[in-house]
Amino acid sequence: MPEFNEHLTKMNHCLACGKDLDGAMNVDDTRGPQEGDVSICIYCGTLSVFTKDIDLRPMTFEEEYEVMSGPSGKRMRFLQDRIQAMRHARGS
């Protein structure tokens, strides 16, 4: 079971659902987010990417393909499925 390390970040907003995002959990390491790290919205499951200033930018199609077909893809799908299940349970 991976250790999830929580980090407070500057206030961002999900690019898809607009919810406030001011924290990140690192599923690979203990460090906080860095440029190029993938972010998954806990509210809607949308993937985005941290910039140098720890803002969020949309993930390109090529980046999404690379992540989802790489070693992290299975975990990303698991998390997106769990997020979708939580949304369904909340009725949103």
Q: Binding residues for Zn ion, per CB under 5 A?
A: 14, 16-17, 41, 43-44, 46
State the nearest-atom distance from the C-beta of 72 to Zn ion, in Å.
19
State the nearest-atom distance from the C-beta of 66 to Zn ion, in Å.
21
17 vs 68, beta carbon nearer Zn ion: 17
State the nearest-atom distance from the C-beta of 74 to Zn ion, in Å.
21
Structure tokens at 7: 């980090």
26 vs 80, beta carbon nearer Zn ion: 80
Q: Look at residue 13 and give its three-state secondary structure.
A: strand
Contacts of 11 (CB under 8 A, 6+ apart): 20, 21, 22
58 vs 70, beta carbon nearer Zn ion: 58
φ, ψ (nearest 5 deg) of residue 46: -70, 140
Alpha-carbon gap, residue 27 to 59, rounded angstroms: 19
